[in-house]
Amino acid sequence: MRWSGFLRRLVLIPPTLVGVGIIVFVLLRVVPGDPIAMMIPPGASADDITRLRALYGLDQPLLSQFVTWSGQMLLGDFGRSISLHQRVLELVTARLPATLELALLAVLIALALGVLIALAGVYVRGRRAEWLVDAAIGFFLAIPDFLWALILLLVLGVLLPWLPISGRIDPQRDVTFATHFDLLESLATFRLDVAADLLRHMLLPALALALPFAALVARLLKAQLAEAEDQDYAQIARTRGFSRATILTREVFPNALIPTVALSGVQITLLLGGTVLVERIFSYEGIGNMAIDAVINRDFPLIQGLILTFALLFIALNLVVDGLVALLDPRLHHG
C-alpha cells in the first residue's frame, strides 16, 4: 500500500465513524426496548416516567438528542452509561485491553496451530495421513467458537478440572496494575506468577476463539503451500539438493503466507466479534461481555460507545493487515 493510499484510508476514517454513529443512533431508537421502561418500578406514575426520561435526556426530540451526542463525541465525551453510572469512555478503556489481550492470545494460538497443521498437511501430501489432516481441519472448522467454549468448559473445566472457567484472574489474588493490559504488564514487570494466573484464566476462552480460526488458517495456508511447492523455484531448489522440509519452510512458506495474512485480517475482525459470546460463557470481563449487558439494559450511550469502539478496531485492524500485506509482498513495493 502506498503512502497516498494509506493517507486516503486515514482520511476516510472520520466519515466512516460518523456513518456508523448515525446508523447506530437511529437503529437503537427504532428497535423496540426503552431504557426508562427497564427501570420503572411498581407504582411509578406517568409523571415519574416523564421525570426519569428527562433526567437521562431522552425526552428531547431525536434530532436534538443526536446533536447533543455528536457534540459530546467531538469533544471526546462518549456520555454516561445509564445502567453503570460511569463515563462510557472510562468503562470502555478499562475493559477493552482485556478483550485485546484475549484476542491477541487467540490469534497467536490460531496462527501457531494453523501454520503447524498446514505444514504437516503439505508434508504428508498425497499420503493417507493427509486425509487425517483434512478431516481435523474440517472438524475444527465445523464447530463455531461459542460451541467450542461450551465443549472446553465441560471437558477441561468440569470433567478434567484443570483450568479455571470464569473470570480473568483468581479473585483471591491481591494485585494492582498501572494499565489495564494485565497480562502484558505482568510479563513486562516479571510478575510471572500473576501472568501464569492470567494465562490459566485466558487459555480456555482463547482456545475457543482460536480453534475455528486455526482451522481456517490451516486450510488456506495448506492450499497455498501446495500450490507454491509445485512452482518452478521450489522444484529447482529440490534439484539443487535442499531437503523438502527446508524448501517448505524457507522457500515456499514466505510466498504462501501473503494471502493467508490478508485473509487472517478479515478473520481477526470476526474473531473479535466472537469474543462477545465467548467472554459471556467464561465470565471474562472484556467489552464483549459488557456489550451483552448493555443491550439487555438498553443502555444507549454504552451501546453506542461500544459499537464505535468495535468499528474503530475493525478499521485499525484492516489498516494494519493491509500494511502488513504490503510489507510482505514485494510486488506491491514497486507498484
Q: Minimal distance in Å, beta carbon 296 to other proteins?
A: 7
What long-range pairs does 45-54 form, CB within 8 A, spacing at least 24?
Answer: none
Q: Which is nearer to other proteins, 11 or 46 (CB)?
A: 46
Q: Which is nearer to other proteins, 82 or 252 (CB)?
A: 82
> In this structure, are residues 225 and 256 in contact, taking their beta carbons and an 8 Å threshold?
yes
The CB-of-144 to other proteins minimum distance in angstroms stands at 15
Angle 250-253-256 (CA atoms, 0-180°, nearest 5)?
150
Q: Which is nearer to other proteins, 188 or 236 (CB)?
A: 188
Least separation in angstroms between residue 16's CB and other proteins is 29
Sign (positive or negative) of CA dihedral 290, 293, 299, 300: positive
Judged by CB, which is closer to other proteins: 50, or 243? 50
How far is the C-alpha of 92 from the C-alpha of 74, rounded, in Å?
Answer: 17
| Residue with the three cell numbers 490460531 | 110
The gap from C-alpha 15 to its chain's centroid, in whole angstroms, comes to 23
In the complex, the smallest distance separating the C-beta of residue 154 from other proteins, rounded to whole angstroms, is 7
**48 or 230: whose CB is closer to other proteins?**
48
Residues pairing with 80 in the sheet: 87
Residue 101 CB partners (closer than 8 Å, separation 6+): 181, 182, 183, 184, 202
For the beta carbon of residue 152, count every other beta carbon within 10 angstroms. 22
Instruction: Choose between 218 and 290: whose C-beta lies nearer to other proteins.
Output: 290
Query: CB of 149: closest distance to other proteins in angstroms?
Result: 9
In one-letter notation, the amino acid at residue 304 is: Q
Please state the closest distance from residue 306 (CB atom) to other proteins, in A.
Answer: 13
